[in-house]
């Protein structure tokens, strides 16, 4: 018999994954050109050519003796040094190889960070709406997720509400900006306010409340919007980065944890994170793609492609009467459910072969998420279907 924890998970298996499967069924029935699947954050653009060349380069480099072998659990020292240099050049930080642990994407990084920090019963705060897996990850280590709503209207994190939710058991706050599912980028003043609140709480209790900064969308910010580097504002930060979205590599499972020397107990955290990587069964982040990303650290995501999709979808939907949050980052559009019932909205959309995810799946009822990391033609073809849906919903 399977465990109670897994039984509960199997009962509530991810709505997004279920939609992904449903999308495939609809595509088989109606033809994929006639199904408008906005359900999954799977980047449609291929990785840049430089990534392919980097992989070939690594494989062709006979001087690299250990391409497929074991390595330190934290990852290849030379890869971590290259990532540290790239971060320092970009953010004016002072990371070295020892400050980084290569991870199995952001999901792997978050699990390593939580395993490193949590005792059973510890609390982790997340800002709703939030990436649906956070609760599962926290429960992996018998912690509990405490959900704090974002500010109504602009969906910025609410520092005062976060502060009010901190208890003696609070170990960490997960921050995700650019945000999935809202597309909102937290402003510098939001970050400063959160940092001030958490500093005061940590000083009062004598034990740090860490920020776990979940950053798979860091480079996906449009129109010159700046994404503040959180460690600069709050030292007790563990950054969880991933190349899944920026370089369209979600299947390769590659990212890193970054912990600066100024972070409380940084040496212990880094040592424990490397051990967590091992004992969780990852052992180390995949070696070939570690070596490859180290060769393309200057590479930029396809921002112009996503920005074009953003304008097309946001412009098209608002013209039809849908209320949307204008996304400054990531590749998600957060749309108000006409009538307020997000599940009913998603069901109604399905009749027109439009797949979107009800906000309830992200603890954000009353809204729905559209992932616009799709082909531009999908959006163009979907707009008439959205128009019919708008008619049915009397927008």
Tell me if 249 sits within 8 A of 51, measured CB to CB.
yes
Among residues 76 and 131, whose Cβ is nearest to ligand PLP? 131
Q: Which of 246, 211, 218 is nearest to 232 (CA)?
A: 211
CB of 41 to ligand PLP, least distance (A): 4
The span from the CA of 81 to the CA of 101, in Å, is 11
Phi-psi domain of 10 (left: phi exceeds 0; alpha: psi -120 through 50; beta: other)? alpha
The span from the CA of 198 to the CA of 204, in Å, is 10
CB of 198 to ligand PLP, least distance (A): 20
Specify the pairing of strand 144-149 against strand 123-128.
Answer: parallel
Binding site for ligand PLP (CB under 6 A): 41, 105-107, 131, 176, 180, 214, 216, 242, 244, 250, 255
Tell me if 103 sits within 8 A of 255, measured CB to CB.
yes
Q: Which of 196, 140, 207 is nearest to 171 (CA)?
A: 207
CB of 328 to ligand PLP, least distance (A): 15
Among residues 197 and 254, whose Cβ is nearest to ligand PLP? 254
Strands lying side by side in the sheet with 100-103: 100-103, 255-259, 237-242, 210-215, 170-175, 123-128, 144-149
Among residues 374 and 389, whose Cβ is nearest to ligand PLP? 374
Closest-approach residue to ligand PLP (CB): 105
CB of 208 to ligand PLP, least distance (A): 22
Among residues 330 and 379, whose Cβ is nearest to ligand PLP? 330
Which stretch of DSSP H or E encloses residue 278? helix 266-279
CB of 373 to ligand PLP, least distance (A): 10
The span from the CA of 303 to the CA of 267, in Å, is 36
Among residues 166 and 247, whose Cβ is nearest to ligand PLP? 247
Among residues 107 and 289, whose Cβ is nearest to ligand PLP? 107
CB of 369 to ligand PLP, least distance (A): 10
């Amino acid at each position: 018999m399977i465990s109670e924890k897994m039984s509960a998970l199997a009962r509530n298996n991810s709505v997004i994954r279920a939609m992904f499967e449903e999308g495939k069924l609809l595509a088989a029935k109606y033809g994929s050109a006639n199904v408008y699947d906005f359900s999954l954050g799977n980047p449609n653009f291929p990785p840049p050519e430089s990534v392919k060349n980097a992989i070939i380069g690594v494989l062709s480099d006979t001087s690299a003796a250990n391409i497929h072998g074991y390595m330190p659990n934290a990852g290849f020292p030379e890869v971590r040094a290259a990532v540290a240099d790239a971060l320092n050049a970009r953010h004016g930080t002072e990371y070295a190889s020892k400050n980084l642990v290569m991870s199995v994407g952001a999901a792997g990084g978050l699990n390593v960070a939580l395993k490193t920090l949590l005792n059973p019963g510890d609390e982790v705060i997340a800002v709703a709406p939030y990436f649906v897996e956070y609760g599962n990850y926290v429960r992996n280590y018998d912690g509990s997720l405490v959900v704090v709503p974002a500010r109504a209207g602009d969906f910025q994190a609410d520092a005062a509400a976060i502060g009010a939710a901190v208890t003696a058991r609070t170990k960490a706050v997960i921050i995700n900006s650019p945000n999935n599912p809202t597309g909102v980028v937290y402003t510098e003043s939001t970050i400063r306010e959160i940092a001030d609140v958490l500093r005061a709480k940590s000083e009062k209790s004598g034990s740090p409340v860490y920020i776990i900064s979940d950053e798979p969308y860091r480079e996906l910010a449009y129109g010159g919007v700046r994404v503040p580097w959180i460690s600069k504002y709050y030292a007790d930060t563990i950054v969880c980065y991933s190349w899944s979205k920026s370089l369209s590599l979600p299947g390769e499972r590659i990212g890193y944890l970054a912990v600066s020397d100024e972070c409380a107990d940084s040496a212990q955290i880094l040592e424990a994170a490397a051990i967590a990587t091992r004992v969780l069964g990852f052992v180390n982040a995949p070696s070939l793609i570690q070596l490859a990303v180290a060769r393309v650290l200057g590479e930029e995501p396809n921002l112009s492609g996503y920005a074009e999709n953003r304008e097309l979808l946001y412009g098209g939907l608002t013209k039809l009467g849908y209320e949307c949050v204008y996304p400054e980052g990531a590749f998600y559009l957060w749309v108000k459910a006409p009538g307020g019932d997000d599940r009913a909205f998603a069901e109604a959309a399905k009749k027109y072969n439009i797949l979107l995810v009800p906000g309830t799946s992200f603890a954000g009822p009353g809204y729905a998420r559209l992932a616009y990391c799709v082909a531009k033609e999908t959006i163009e073809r979907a707009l008439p279907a959205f128009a019919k849906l708008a008619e049915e919903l009397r927008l």
